[in-house]
Amino acid sequence: MRKFLRWSIIVLVSLFVLVVALIGPVDFAPLKERPFYQRTMLQLDTFKPAIHSPKTKLKAGWSAINITPKSRMPMAGYAPRNHFNSVHDSVYVRILVIDNGSIPCIFVSADLLLFPPTLKDKIVQRISPNRFLYFSATHAHSSLGAWDDSIIGNLILGSYNEPWLDSLTSKIISRIDLALAQLQPASLNYFEADANEYVENRLAPEHGQTDGKIRGLKITRADGSKGLLASYSAHPTNISHLSLALSGDYPAALVRKAEQKEFRFAMFTAGMVGSHRVKGIPETEFAQCDTLADKLLKKIRTAKNFAVNDSVEISTATIPVEYGPSQLHVLQKYKVRDWVFRGLFSPLKGEITYLKIGDIILLGMPCDFSGEIFVRDGLGAIAESHDQKLFITSFNGQYVGYITYDEYYGHSEQEEVMAMNWVGPYYGDYFSQITKKILSKSK
């Protein structure tokens, strides 16, 4: 009996030590007391983007790459799926270049869950520093995996495939060069339209607020060809998590229909998708994708346009954002310790991409950024008070999880607050304050 008790005590103590080593309390210290917040705000006090005065009238070029593999690969977006078994629609990387003679701005958007950080790094290493890159993704949940070499990445997204990423890098670089070689004089219009009837807040469907605008750029080149960049905030999760059919979900359907009916080239970038999902479409699966695409394309066609001057200043920057230790929930007030998170994922790292074309400010966020923050904190209204338009996209080639409105933290059991918020409380306010400070410097 004594021996049993002794061993029982040893086991219990060992388990207690293990739990204490792996799990700790969430840090609810006020944001303004945190050193990382203070350092970031201090840096923003001196924020000055690079200003590129126009040397010519605007020019535009574009290209697309079909990245559908010939052999089976893992899928990303839901639970692990180690291969797709059919192709409903091909997946692409699309490239749009806008150039004022001083700086070529290169938009790169992939039909992937997010723009893989490793892929971004590989591209940046091979691109001239005299070109500005703006990355995004469509956030398709039925597309390709195998692009994250962390422990969790290999488990959830499939075995990391570096040869595939190297090959993809070379193809993207080649297509960027092609788009640059095919630049033509172009006129540019920013557009936005209310499509709120097709999106809802999945954290609080009854009372949560949403950003329901479809936004983007319309380009008309000298040869009459038209290009489109469109962005919307509804999650592309219309296809079942059990499906093994490769697809770009409704963004791919929208691009396909746009190119069939009006535009020579179209691309999609995920908007402020954090906590937003599709609603109001009676069909399911691929039929739902097609119906939503038709409705959004109609909105784009009738949207209010805001012309950009043919000769326009462009400003660019990458804005550093500091983070505290990771705070991945296990219970409402407890988290996985940072050393465990770093071992399973990667250390938190994520800048904000800043691009201003005339009076249009584009911010690329390193996260699932929530449109509820945009609406509740009046970020768009602040920009408009300066006669500017604010256009926020997600998945800029780095990723720090979900950034949602702060009132849900510590109360909601939803996945995006519990499993996918990696940063902890108050980060909605943190990113909102960063955005407001950027806008104050962009008048």
pLDDT digits (tens, 9 = 90+) for 366-385: 999 999 999 999 999 999 99
Q: Are strands 132-137 and 104-110 parallel, antiparallel or unpaired?
A: parallel
Provide the pLDDT for residue 77.
87
Question: Cα separation of 398 and 348, whole Å?
Answer: 9
Residue 261 in this model has a pLDDT that exceeds 60:
yes
Q: Are strands 402-403 and 368-369 parallel, antiparallel or unpaired?
A: parallel
**Distance from the Cα of residue 304 to its chain's centroid:** 25
Residue 4 in this model has a pLDDT that exceeds 70:
no
Residue 17 in this model has a pLDDT that exceeds 60:
no
pLDDT-wise least confident of 10-14, 57-61, 279-283, 315-319: 10-14
Query: What's this model's pTM, rounded to 2 decimal places?
Result: 0.94
Question: Cα separation of 418 and 172, whole Å?
Answer: 35
Provide the pLDDT for residue 21.
63
Provide the pLDDT for residue 344.
92
Q: To 5 degrees, how large is the angle CA 328–CA 333–CA 337?
A: 40
Residue 410 in this model has a pLDDT that exceeds 90:
no
Of 368, 398, 376, 403, nearest in space to 271 by CA: 368
Question: Cα separation of 69 and 87, whole Å?
Answer: 10
Residue 241 in this model has a pLDDT that exceeds 50:
yes
For 363, what's the count of Cα atoms within 13 Å in the CB-facing half-sphere? 29
